[in-house]
Amino acid sequence: MLAADVLRGHAERTPDRLAIDVDGFSQITYGDWDRRSNRLARALVELGVAPGDRVALRLENRDGVEYCVGYFACQKAGAVAVPINTRLAPREAAYILDHSEPRVILGHAEDRQRIAATAGSAKHSARLVLRGGVGEESWNELEDAESSDEFQVERAPDDLADILYTSGTTGRPKGVASTHSDVAAIAKGRAAQMFAGATFLHAFPLYTFAGTHGMTMLGLSGGMTTVVQPRFDPARFLALISERSVNLMYVAPAMILLMIDHPDASKHTYDTLKMILYGSAPMPPDAIPRLAKVFKEAFQVNVYGLTEAGSAACSLPPHEALERPGSIGKPLPPTEVSIRNDAGDPVPDGEHGEIWMRAAHARRRYFKDDDATARTWTEDGWLKTGDVGHFDADGYLYLDDRKKDVIVRGGHNVYPAEVEAALLEHPGIQEVAVVGVEHPVLGEDVKAVVVTRDGTMIDLDQLKEFCSERLADYKTPRHLEVLDELPRNSMGKVLRRVLRGEAGAVS
């Protein structure tokens, strides 16, 4: 089965049903979604896109309809979709474009200057196709000139469908490559069956794993109407639940906290809302009963998963969340989870080890990185998550620590190595260590502790600006501290746990 087959099926069965509703911007039905993606797929082929070529999508949630059209146009043209995080600094985006070498970049004319600034590398010569553009760059003209009849370049289920870039533990992003069968497998989830034809609401960026595979494919798989908020706003999100008679929503814990504490929370009725899916970061246990008081009819499900794991996930019902604080639930079939020691052998319940996950779909891989692929996935399909956890006697999984020290800030993964590499470019910094610190809403925030060269005085506000020129806004440290030296153990390793709790002059 190909990824676009899921769209074709719903376009045939319910062509007039509203598929995507970007609040305040645009809408599209299943029939039009299918027809427009056929037109754009033909245009991409006319531009020289060949099977296996990459096509980058640099589009924000306001362009959600175009994003969804463009994503499936890539699949129908035989290309590999490469979503680009619009919040990345130019050089971060440039690295992804250099690495993936797209033949075409799909974007919006208003962002032309920023897109062009990231696409000027000599390593590739991507053609810009822009919504609202003119002449050779016009997405509108290219799409309108083509037929809307069914179109599909021949591809096999094991061929690549997309590449989603994650932050890299060594400072470079890694592209998680998924096949058509892998993406299509998401359409077989339980939520899709339970909420067929429902109205689904989210505010996740579409270019993320959660946005592309989670939000878009979840809504598509059940033939739902997916309401997309261009940028999360708690008051408007609460209103949308009532206005659109939402049945299912997916939120990050930070969003939940902002909504249940908002003065508008009591102004609306939410009787149509039947399920709340939340994930991407830990949910504070005290928020669960408060959430139930606001959304009285909704069943809460905590989901744990990774980009590398695909649809593999664990789920924790709310009553168990209250009885088992700290647990992330049980594996959702057909997901398998195992706790392994450093030798790769399973450990007994109660013992700590690395969390390994295995899904029923094809094994994913890192694009152009066979060594990292071999280190992360086993030959029989197990993913080494890098997270440390344990099972209790009843089979509930607990996430004890993050082996890779990843910081989860408001649902966005931030790897210390990326931030440290950017800070070390500053001529006045000799050493740096980046850690996550607690935040009442975001879960964690980014803290950088630096040692200057020869006691050089550094203006911390200027240092933040230095970071913002090199890093996405959510990666830029909000907390900065200067020390004479970093705390280390007898082996010379930086004691990050000390930095997380160490008092000092934090800016």
The residues spanned by each domain of the chain are 1-184+203-217, 232-304, 329-404, 407-501
What is the pLDDT, as a whole number, of residue 272?
97
Give the Cβ contact number of residue 243 at 10 Å: 12
CATH of 329-404, one of 3.30.413.10, 2.30.38.10, 3.30.2270.10, 3.40.190.10: 2.30.38.10
Note the pLDDT tens digit of each residue in 173-200: 899 999 999 898 877 766 667 889 999 9
Note the pLDDT tens digit of each residue in 386-419: 888 899 999 999 877 666 677 889 888 887 878 8
- What's the CA dihedral at 196, 198, 201, 205 to 10 degrees? 30
What is the pLDDT, as a whole number, of residue 431?
83
CATH number of 1-184+203-217: 3.40.50.980
Note the pLDDT tens digit of each residue in 92-123: 899 999 999 999 999 999 988 888 877 666 45
Q: Quick one: DSSP state of residue 311?
A: T
* 162: its two tokens: 């997309």
3-state secondary structure of 57: strand
What is the pLDDT, as a whole number, of residue 228?
98
CATH superfamily for domain 407-501: ANL, C-terminal domain (3.30.300.30)
* Residue 429 to residue 450: CA distance in whole angstroms: 7
What is the pLDDT, as a whole number, of residue 141?
96
Give the Cβ contact number of residue 460 at 10 Å: 17
What is the pLDDT, as a whole number, of residue 403?
62
Q: What does the angle CA 459 – CA 461 – CA 465 come to, to the nearest 5 degrees?
A: 115
DSSP 240-275: HHHHTT--EEEE-HHHHHHHHTSGGGGSS--TT--E
Tens of each residue's pLDDT in the chain, 507 residues = 999 999 999 999 999 999 999 999 999 999 999 999 999 999 999 999 999 999 999 999 999 999 999 999 999 999 999 999 998 888 889 999 999 999 999 999 998 888 887 766 645 678 999 999 888 889 999 999 999 999 999 999 999 999 999 865 455 789 999 999 989 887 776 666 788 999 999 999 999 888 999 899 989 989 999 999 999 999 999 999 999 999 999 998 878 888 998 999 999 999 999 999 887 665 666 778 888 889 998 988 878 777 787 766 778 777 777 788 778 888 888 789 999 998 999 999 999 889 999 876 667 899 999 998 999 999 888 999 888 889 999 999 987 766 667 788 988 888 787 888 789 889 999 888 899 998 988 989 999 999 998 778 889 899 999 999 999 999 999 999 999 888 875 445 678 778 887 433 333
Say how many Å lie between the first and final Cα of the chain, rounded: 53
CATH number of 232-304: 3.40.50.980
What is the pLDDT, as a whole number, of residue 122?
44
Q: Name the one residue in this structure whose structure tokens are 């508008």.
A: 264
Q: Decide: 352 and 345 in contact? Cβ < 8 Å.
A: no
Same fold, 232-304 and 407-501: no
3-state secondary structure of 127: strand
Interacting residues of 314 by C-beta distance below 8 A, sequence separation 6+: 303, 304, 305, 328, 329, 330, 331, 332, 335, 337, 397
